Chain A
Amino acid sequence: MNKDIPARADVMIAGGGFAGLALAIALRQGLGDAFTVVVADPALDHPIADARSSAIAAAARRLFSALGVWDEVVSHAQPILDMVISDSKLEDVVRPTFLTFAGEVAPGEPFAHMVENGRLLAALHGRAAADGIVLASDAVARFATGPDRVAVTLAGGASVETRLLVAADGARSALREQAGIGTVGWSYGQSAIVTTVAHERDHRGRAVEHFLPAGPFAILPLTGRRSSIVWTETTAEATRILALDDAGFHHELERRFGLSLGELSAVGRRGAFPLGLKVARSFIAERFALLGDAAHMIHPIAGQGLNLGLRDVAALAEAMVDAARLGLDCGGATVLERYQQWRRFDTLSMGLATDGINRLFSNRSDVLRLARDIGLGMVERLPALKELFIHEAAGITGEVPRLLKGEAL
């Protein structure tokens, strides 16, 4: 796989996850075969072993459609047809519903789909290979920035000169550290337990979010009679629950899930992920850009992490393609500043909004609970505000990059 790494590339992307692969495809499709794109990730030749599922917002789905990836995924994608939010204590028998969203952003277009990460990555990988992107199963070891090029050295010894190095190497980005870009943020002391369950009755495309005192418990519909669970607990409690035997885990799960969909059975592996808010102090340096989780980790409360990453992809791809089509340097400061200006406000506002929602709901105070219930009740009664929430959740507010509108670059 590594024998054809070119000595010169227009762009080098470190990290072959959703964001890295989607950017590679967008650039290649926008700029044609003469534009060389290398994606380097040691995991590229391993089978994909991501047990998680993701909510693909309408805007992100439009991007996947524009890139020619969605057709491969659609048969495994469960549309979220409506969304119910409740606020209750664990022991409450009846969980009052305060907010319901009928889930369409446009007629016939659900505001989100649930897709298993493995399916989506496989589709992106196949598209990238078909589009002639150089896929190197190797890590970026180090880089040296010159005025016109970055000299990138891979762990395997190959070296590539490129106009731009994109770090899409995840939340603990080693390249972000090498570039000397710090982060701001905090940990919530909470972890999300993630698993997949099967249930007796059909979920009918309904997503449910119970705001339990320890934090949100989300039931997200998958294809077939299955749902993805994202279950927030304090990190200590999450560790305890994860270590329980199958019967004990099942009992804890059922206490929270309820029996509205009949008998439950665990079908997926369980895992836990620590939650925090982390945003890079800058998204760019000279001939260097952070993308996706390397730039920001937000609370997954509204399922926005992946979608924010794809908004990065759409903005960076558009800035680079617009410049390259005018014969301009696609890795220069003008392009990178446009990307950063476009993305930072959006990221910070989304980060702070999800942080605020989490702080409001991860709380045992009855006064706060009353206040938030009144708040949710008011949203329920104000159609315009509700519409804005749906569009925000679908990722189609603000100045929208072309790919997120489903348009080709």
Chain B
Amino acid sequence: MNQFTQADVSTIDKATIARFDVPMADWWDSTGPARWLHKYNPARVSFICRAAGQTQRRTGQADDLRGLRIVDIGCGGGVLCEPLAMLGATVVGVDPAPLAIEAARLHALASDLDIDYRCTTAEAMAAAGERFDVVLAMEVIEHVADCDAFLRRCAELVRPRGLLILSTINRTAKSFAYAIVMAEYVLRVLPKGTHDWRKFRRPVELERALAPSGFRVVDVSGVTMRLSTRELRLSKDVGVNFLMALQRAE
């Protein structure tokens, strides 16, 4: 965020600013630290459109999200919220980091998009009785302290027949090699210590954690890089990054 300066937010919460300062300043620089997030965006949006199209749509047009109320838990600077709003969804972005929410609000203003950003948590949203057609938790569960409790809170936010969409990293030998060794130590596209391999969840573990809340898996996809163009694309290989869509029963 270039319009974003330290002075604008220094009064909000100094301790949090200190913790999130580095990753937030550059949410929207698609050549900067958030580069891989931007590169991942086409695959993420495609998957969301596909899953929503299969279970929520009435118009039959894949890239039309009009009429859907979507919440993005851990929205950061709004990199995913904006394209969803562009496609017509009513979007709420939630993140406990005030600097990220401030960055997201400023960018939405510049993009002329109406997105409801809230500096709060999934727990508080669930307690307030909020309900959504689609709940997104993208690249979040591998960072939370208690994954199962977090998933239960997210599940509460989904209306009957609505969708919960998760994006995370599998716990496999391959993901250790790629997500930890390659990403943090060899290519250094992520800061060291970004991920703890033991916190990664396998697809079947997510399925089991959410079954008691009445969810069943409707779509799963892996993500792989196409070497010729260095694009990240949806694929059948769920060995490292994967996306999962679960639908809540009536």
The answer to whether A333 and B38 have CB atoms under 8 Å apart is yes
The answer to whether A338 and B229 have CB atoms under 8 Å apart is yes
Q: Bound state CA distance, A325 and B110, in angstroms?
A: 20
The answer to whether A327 and B82 have CB atoms under 8 Å apart is yes
A326 contacts chain B at the CB level, 8 A cutoff: yes
A379 contacts chain B at the CB level, 8 A cutoff: no
The answer to whether B46 and A326 have CB atoms under 8 Å apart is yes
Q: Bound state CA distance, A37 and B63, in angstroms?
A: 22
The answer to whether A333 and B229 have CB atoms under 8 Å apart is no
Within 106-152 of B, Cβ neighbours of A (below 8 Å) are at: 107, 110-111
B19 contacts chain A at the CB level, 8 A cutoff: no
Please indicate which of the listed interface residues A286, A322, A326 has the most CB atoms of chain B within 10 Å of its own CB. Answer: A326
Smallest Cβ-Cβ distance to B4: which chain A residue: A147
Within 23-75 of B, Cβ neighbours of A (below 8 Å) are at: 28-31, 35, 38-39, 41-42, 45-46, 49, 63
- Provide the residues of chain A in CB contact with B86, threshold 8 Å: 327-328
With A326-B42, A326-B83, A333-B38 as known contacts, state yes or no: A148 contacts B229, CB within 8 Å: no
The answer to whether A342 and B39 have CB atoms under 8 Å apart is no
- Provide the residues of chain A in CB contact with B35, threshold 8 Å: 333
The answer to whether A341 and B49 have CB atoms under 8 Å apart is no
The answer to whether A338 and B83 have CB atoms under 8 Å apart is no
The answer to whether B228 and A341 have CB atoms under 8 Å apart is yes
A239 contacts chain B at the CB level, 8 A cutoff: no
Q: Bound state CA distance, A334 and B35, in angstroms?
A: 8
Interface 1/0s, chain B 1-38, versus A by CB < 8 A?
11100000000000000000000000011110001001
Which one of B2, B31, B87, B111 contacts A326 once the chains associate, using CB atoms below 8 Å?
B87
The answer to whether B228 and A147 have CB atoms under 8 Å apart is no
- Provide the residues of chain B in CB contact with A392, threshold 8 Å: none
- Provide the residues of chain B in CB contact with A246, threshold 8 Å: none
Inter-chain CB contacts under 8 Å: number = 61
Q: Bound state CA distance, A338 and B85, in angstroms?
A: 24
A337 contacts chain B at the CB level, 8 A cutoff: yes
Interface 1/0s, chain A 123-153, versus B by CB < 8 A?
0000000000000000000000011100000
Smallest Cβ-Cβ distance to A341: which chain B residue: B229
Interface 1/0s, chain A 75-94, versus B by CB < 8 A?
00000000000000000000
- Provide the residues of chain B in CB contact with A328, threshold 8 Å: 41-42, 45, 83, 86
The answer to whether A333 and B63 have CB atoms under 8 Å apart is no
Smallest Cβ-Cβ distance to B46: which chain A residue: A326
Interface 1/0s, chain B 212-250, versus A by CB < 8 A?
000000000000000011110000000000000000000
With A323-B42, A326-B83, A342-B229 as known contacts, state yes or no: A147 contacts B111, CB within 8 Å: no
A276 contacts chain B at the CB level, 8 A cutoff: no
- Provide the residues of chain A in CB contact with B179, threshold 8 Å: none
Which one of A147, A323, A327, A338 contacts B1 once the chains associate, using CB atoms below 8 Å?
A147
With A327-B83, A327-B85 as known contacts, state yes or no: A334 contacts B46, CB within 8 Å: no
Smallest Cβ-Cβ distance to B45: which chain A residue: A326
The answer to whether A334 and B41 have CB atoms under 8 Å apart is yes
Interface 1/0s, chain B 91-107, versus A by CB < 8 A?
00000000000000001
The answer to whether B46 and A147 have CB atoms under 8 Å apart is no
- Provide the residues of chain A in CB contact with B231, threshold 8 Å: 338, 341
The answer to whether A147 and B28 have CB atoms under 8 Å apart is yes
The answer to whether B83 and A322 have CB atoms under 8 Å apart is no
Which one of A146, A322, A329, A334 contacts B2 once the chains associate, using CB atoms below 8 Å?
A146
B166 contacts chain A at the CB level, 8 A cutoff: no
> Chain A's nearest CB lies how many Å from the CB of B122?
24
With A148-B111, A326-B83, A327-B86 as known contacts, state yes or no: A334 contacts B30, CB within 8 Å: yes
A332 contacts chain B at the CB level, 8 A cutoff: yes
Q: Bound state CA distance, A329 and B86, in angstroms?
A: 10
- Provide the residues of chain A in CB contact with B49, threshold 8 Å: 326
Smallest Cβ-Cβ distance to B89: which chain A residue: A327
B84 contacts chain A at the CB level, 8 A cutoff: yes
A366 contacts chain B at the CB level, 8 A cutoff: no
Q: Bound state CA distance, A148 and B30, in angstroms?
A: 11
The answer to whether B28 and A337 have CB atoms under 8 Å apart is no
Interface 1/0s, chain A 101-123, versus B by CB < 8 A?
00000000000000000000000
Q: Bound state CA distance, A328 and B113, in angstroms?
A: 13
Within 345-364 of A, Cβ neighbours of B (below 8 Å) are at: 345
Q: Bound state CA distance, A287 and B49, in angstroms?
A: 27
The answer to whether B30 and A326 have CB atoms under 8 Å apart is no
Q: Bound state CA distance, A282 and B231, in angstroms?
A: 18
Which one of B3, B84, B229 contacts A147 once the chains associate, using CB atoms below 8 Å?
B3
> Chain B's nearest CB lies how many Å from the CB of A400?
12
Q: Bound state CA distance, A270 and B19, in angstroms?
A: 70
Q: Bound state CA distance, A341 and B231, in angstroms?
A: 9
Which one of B30, B45, B46 contacts A332 once the chains associate, using CB atoms below 8 Å?
B30
Smallest Cβ-Cβ distance to A149: which chain B residue: B110
Can you list 17 contacts pairing A with B, beta carbon distance less than 8 Å?
Answer: A147-B3, A147-B29, A148-B107, A286-B31, A322-B42, A326-B41, A326-B46, A326-B83, A326-B87, A327-B45, A327-B86, A328-B83, A328-B86, A333-B30, A333-B31, A334-B42, A337-B39
Q: Please list the residues of chain B having a beta carbon within 8 angstroms of any beta carbon in chain A.
A: 1-3, 28-31, 35, 38-39, 41-42, 45-46, 49, 63, 82-87, 107, 110-111, 228-231
Closest 7 CB pairs of A and B: A327-B86, A327-B83, A333-B30, A326-B45, A327-B87, A147-B2, A341-B229
